[in-house]
Structure formats: C-alpha cells, structure tokens
Structure 1
C-alpha cells in the first residue's frame, strides 16, 4: 500500500511537474492503464486507426516523407495497418543523419536535441518533442505501477548516461529529492565505490532499484564477497534496462537483493518498446509503438522466428521514427500472458546484432556461448571479448590474482577455439580493470563481424 507521501507525489506533485513541462503524461497514462486490458483485436484496430492518422500527418508536414511518398507513388491512405508499412523503406542512423533537417515537421513545437550513447559503434543525434516525451514517460509510468510501486516511492538509480549525469544542477537535485529518487553514477566501479553504493542502498531502504543490469550484478557480487546482507531492506523490484539482461545476472540480483528483476527494453532513440509484468510477460508498448520483426533481407517474420526489431513510434510526428532499424534481435510471441493484459509480447530479446559472433565455418553464435566459458572460471574477476574478425578474437581479463597465468590463458584459448574454430587466433590480455563504454554501459561481447 502506497504511503501518504507517495500518494501526494504521484497524484499531485509529479502531475504538476509534467504540466509545467507541457507534457500530457497523466492523461496518456490513464488511457494506457485502461487500454491494456482490451482484447488483442480491439487493440490492433485502435493501433491501426492511430497509425493512419500518424502517417497522414507526417506525409503532409514532414518534408522528407512528403518527398518520399511522392517518389514512391504511395499515398497516406495506402497505409491502413502495420502490415502495410512494408510499402515504406527502413529508417536507419545514416538516413537520419543525412536528412536531419528534412525530418523535422513544419508544424513542430519546441524540440530538444538528444543523442544515443553510441555503444553500438555509431551515435545518433535526433530531436524529441513534448508529444514523444509524454508518451514515453507514460509508458514507463504504467509499467512501474504493475509492480505495486509508484513515483514518490524511494528509488535508487544506477545510471551512466552523460545526459543525466550532466544535468545535476540545483533544480534537478531538488526535484529528485522531492520525488525520493537518488542517482548513483555508474562509472569507475571500484571496490571502494561499490561498497559505498551498497551502504547507500542499505541506509536508504528503497522500494525500487533502476538501472543497468551489469551494475546491479556487480553490486550483488560485491555484497556476496563481503558478506553484506541486502535482502532484508524491503526492496520490491529491481528495474533493469539499456543492456541485455543475462539469466545469470537475473539470478544473482534476485538472490542478493531479495526482490524480482523486471526487465525493460528500449532505447533513447526507439522509445520504451517493452516491459516485463510480474507474471513474466514482456509486453509491448503496443498503443504507441508498432513493432516488426524482420529477417536479414528485410522481410517480416511471423511469431516464433528470430529477427531484427524494427519500430514505428506513433508519438513522433514532429521528428518521425518510421520503420527504424534498432539493430536488436528478438522473437515475437503469439501467446497470451497470464496477467490478462491484451498487450502482445516479445518471446525473447536476444541482444544486439553485434552481440553475436561468427565462427570460422560461418556458424552464427550468441555471445553468451563465449561468456559462459569465462564466467565459469573462478580465477576470472571480469572480462570483455571483442571479435575483431572471423580469424581473430581479443579477450581482456581481470584476474582475481592480479595477473592472468598460463593455465588461465590456456583454458580461455581452448574454450574459445572450441566454439569459434581451432584456426582462430585468440589473444588474451591481462588488465587491471574493464572500462565501461562512453555511455556507462558494460558490454561483455562485441563483434565487429557483420552477421547479416
């Protein structure tokens, strides 16, 4: 049951905050909380109606799409449902960069400049308006409330984005304090800082955690190593996002913090695409985002088949994301969740295309097949695997003893060759720490080989 303070924040202070920022978040969230219980057919019909209006607006007011529709000989009324989106080309980072000004609507309101962290190798600069932000915040808010927590409940956020960390002015600090949200920067995770973060969590006794799975996994490992009890603090849920959540991370976080892990999938560019409910369903933000799963040739795939996620965000009429290639690999489900929500689900999220590696014989393997080799070695503290080419893979290793010895090196080389091929050159570098990406995220496997 929510405390009186939480009720004041969620029903009065946060709505006022959103209204002052000219966001329509509260109204949208209420609509989403009603629509989530509709049956699949009704939801699809509503999505199609909204898609039609979105395409009509974009074709009229966005120069890039006005020209594109004319060139293709496609009319806005030709796009009647998600199945018709194949009549339009994909949008990718290079296209957005090359047509940046032409992608801005001629009736757009104030737009803010954003960028992705570039963890996939290519940062993206784009624009967000109040319409998009309102829908994204409302989607996240709806999913938060599935777990019996709300804005105003005590929260610890472990984040590494320079955008968030660069905005810690007095107004931001005051707002976070008012909403009882405390930010811990997910950079330079030294033993001393990890212990300090654990102490902060213990003293705060938050209702929820939010941040990168790699950071909370690291905190959980540190707590275990130092016999620090963290499962008696009353934490209800750990929301993780922005990185692939590995099964072993989920198990570790849940065991140490004594709470379920709720996976969230999305990005600053594509929006909040899917959220996990307490029954385990990875529900799409279906009212706001059209999701397609496509094969390497760009053909739509049916539920049950693995392919790239392509999104059309219906809240982006001011700077449209239509058939935007995320570079992420997933499988769509055709099942109904036990929670009773009509929202479609992703069956699995398999990571970025760069999380897959290619063996010497051309076999495509998930990076997890390499991760388990090093994760199961007691002598390894941390690691990073980079597939430079099909012929060469480089491994950085932090050894618990301080130095990678010959036995460790042989075990790693033998294990990776068994997956990638005996002829592959495996180099092992002993390092004192694994640096995070510029965004603050940690990536355990990176492949520079095109798996498409």
Structure 2
C-alpha cells in the first residue's frame, strides 16, 4: 500500500464518513473480524441481529406493526432464522402500495431512490444512514480482499444518473482526492471507446469498477485496435449490476491481465454478495439473510435453484424483509477454501442488460433507454425491443394516470438517444410477458451483437 493510499484510507475517507455521521470504519473493522468466525458463530450473531431488528421494526414501522399483529408474530420469541418464513414476502407492488407506512415513525434524513429493478417496474423506496454505512463497509471489506484500498487509482465505468448527475465541483474535488474517476457507460461509439482506452492507459488505475458488459466491450475494442491493457498494473476489475458471463470474464482477465471480482446486489436489496480471491461469492451475512424460494414461495435447500429473497438487517428506517429480488440463484453449503465463514451464493442467474445501437452506429448501454421509462410514475412495467435501426417497440404496462403525454415522453426520450428519425412504437399491454425461459429481459436488441 502506497503512502498516499494509506493517507486516504486511514485519514481522508474516515474523516468524510465522520462528517456524514456514518460509522463506516467501525463497521468495516467489525466485519473484517467476523468474516473469519466459524459458520455457527456467524449464524448465532445473525439470529441475534435479526431478533433485535424485527423488534425495532415492530415498534416503529406502521406497515410491519400491522403485518406482525395479523400473523401473531412476536419478534422476541424467534429462535432461528427460519422463523422468518412465518412472514409474508415484500414485493415491489407491496412497497408501491405502502410506501409511507413502510417508513419508521422516527426515521430522519432518509434518501429517496427510484429504480427500475430487474423487471423494469419503477420502484420508489428510501434508504437511511445505517443502511448506507453498512453497505459501504461491506463493499470496502470486499475491496480489501484483493489487495487494493480506497485511495488507490480507480476508474468507474457507470451509467446511473445518480452518480453521473452528482458531478459538481465538491464531488469532483472529492473524487480527485480519492483518486477515482468516473467514465459514463451510456455511449460506446468508436470515438468514445478510443477515448476510454486512452484514458485508462493514461490513468494506469489499480482497479476498475463497473458493468461487465461495458468493461468487456472496452477491452475488446482495445484488442481490435492492437492496444495493450495488461501492462498498466491493474490489479483487479470489480464488476456488478449485471450477470457476468464467462466470455466477459475471459476477455477482461486476458486483456487486462488481472482477475475479475464479481459483485451481486442492487440499490433496493443492498450489497448482497462479493467474490473472494478463491472464487466464492460470499454473502454479507452480518447484514443480509438470503433465502432461495420456488415458484410457490417455499424455501429451497442449498444446491437448488430458485428466486433470491433478501432480508437486510440494516434497513430499520425503511425495512426490506423477505424482499423478492426477481433474480434466480443457488446457495452452496460447501466451505470456501479462503477460510471465511461467510455463506456462499453459488450461482446468480437472470440479470443481463443488452447494448443497443443508435441510427448513427453508436453502441450504447441498454440502461440509457431504461432510465427514460423508469422515472415515469405511470409506467408499471415495460420491455424495450429494438427491431431494426429505424424501429424500436416499447411494451408498456400502464398504471394509473398513464396518458398521451407519457407516450410522447417515451418517444422523445428514446429518439434523443437512438436518433430523431427512429420510429418508436409504444404498445400498451395488460401484462409485460417474460421470455419463454421465465426470465425477464427489459431491453432486447435484435441487431446489437
């Protein structure tokens, strides 16, 4: 670790967190100790946290006060994590119908978030300081598994307007101090890709972080141009927010000359699992309870594939209890060779985002289209199908108040990204259907490849 990295990770970043009134350093240090506990000790710790969390929620969250009463559920009496199964699932429709009642009556300073989720359904929810603190601590712990730390040079390849819209002077100064640089992942034209490759070579980051599709696209472009990326000293590439495919991992590892560390989670469910150098996706068991359920909602044993259901123990201000993520995964009860007692998520399926191609040939991340629809409250669900360069269809499941103005917003928003002359056909449907496999793809390009 360089002197500068040590200065940032041990002084600058902790000071920032204290000013935000986040207890991140203490939480990370506690997690770095608990990760080595035997599985049985972790399970006991998790049960104690779960009992205290549910008791707090029962006292302060109107929605769950009613749910617990109806179910005859007393948090103080739970004796095992499996007692969670007595509670109903939390779904996106439930959150939309009970947003106010899900807020703790003593919550302060909640941040509002809006995400499309894996199905394209717009979802508004809130995050408190405890949740932010614990998520940052979990990510920080996982970063340090790979011999890098806050303060090492980093390039972030991202596309969320939450990050891209926050680049004011204060944020730019902070990023410069932390030695992190943001590259927008929406547009992947030849010129943009040339610029990305040049910037990575000039920056010589110790780590990259971002979408696997975007980073692999940049790496393959460099290969096509005959430009090396494996001589820069990149130690690890962290990927998240999409399913990581084998060909993407192979391309990134071969062309950057370093390992890929996968991460799984979301703004709604939190940081759920991170890959260690031994290859396992470790669940943040200190904060996260993961269940795998079948189509009827029955909990499945390790080794069987089903929907990932998450309870986040640091969400007392706006609780996520038995939250159905819509993603498919498999738990593994085999201990990891790294020696950590953290449970393992063996497989994650069902998350993928296509690229789309604009009329002028620009290749863009599919999220650039998703954000047009997800922030329209009257859109309940959607699917975008790029049929040709000149025709894109949008299936919309309309909610209350959906109007011609919303149709016009969709058309103008997509045309601004794909081309002014591209025909955008908006089709109102009773239900946006999943693929034949049962998975939901919210952006499908029939011409991108």
Instruction: Tell whether the structures are fold-level matches, with TM greater than 0.5.
Output: yes
Alignment correspondent of 2:121: 122
Per-residue CA deviation, residues 74-100 of structure 1 (Å, 9 max, x unaligned), is: 222243332011100000111011101
3-state SS, counterpart of residue 337 of structure 1: coil
Alignment pair present for 1:175 and 2:174: yes
CA contact (8 A) 1:51 1:80 kept: no
CA contact (8 A) 2:5 2:150 kept: yes
**Deviation (angstroms), 1:449:** 4.0
**Deviation (angstroms), 1:383:** 11
**Where in structure 2 are the equivalents of 1:141-160 lying within 5 Å?**
141-160=140-159
Alignment correspondent of 1:44: 43
Runs of 4+ in 1 over 4 A off after TM superposition: 381-384, 393-398
**Where in structure 2 are the equivalents of 1:109-258 lying within 5 Å?**
109-118=108-117, 120-258=119-257
**Deviation (angstroms), 1:4:** 0.3
Within 2, Cα distance between the matches of 1:273 and 1:185?
24
**Deviation (angstroms), 1:140:** 0.1
Per-residue CA deviation, residues 401-425 of structure 1 (Å, 9 max, x unaligned), is: xxxxxxxxxxxxxxxxxxxxxxxxx
Alignment correspondent of 1:18: 17
Distance 1:118 1:54, change over 3 A: closer
Per-residue CA deviation, residues 62-84 of structure 1 (Å, 9 max, x unaligned), is: 00001111122222224333201
CA contact (8 A) 2:185 2:364 kept: no
- Unpaired runs of 5+ residues, structure 2, are 356-362, 367-383, 390-416, 419-431, 440-449
**Deviation (angstroms), 1:116:** 1.4
**Deviation (angstroms), 1:242:** 0.3
Within 2, Cα distance between the matches of 1:201 and 1:81?
49
Alignment pair present for 1:264 and 2:250: no
CA RMSD in angstroms, aligned pairs only: 2.5
**Where in structure 2 are the equivalents of 1:38-437 lying within 5 Å?**
38-118=37-117, 120-352=119-351, 396=387
Alignment correspondent of 1:442: none
Per-residue CA deviation, residues 288-323 of structure 1 (Å, 9 max, x unaligned), is: 000000001000000100000000000000100000
3-state SS, counterpart of residue 290 of structure 1: strand
CA contact (8 A) 1:51 1:81 kept: no
Within 1, Cα distance between the matches of 2:364 and 2:75?
52
Alignment correspondent of 1:405: none
**Deviation (angstroms), 1:117:** 3.9
CA contact (8 A) 1:213 1:245 kept: yes
Alignment correspondent of 1:428: none
3-state SS, counterpart of residue 103 of structure 1: coil
3-state SS, counterpart of residue 206 of structure 1: coil
**Deviation (angstroms), 1:351:** 2.0
Q: How many residues align?
A: 377
Alignment pair present for 1:448 and 2:434: yes
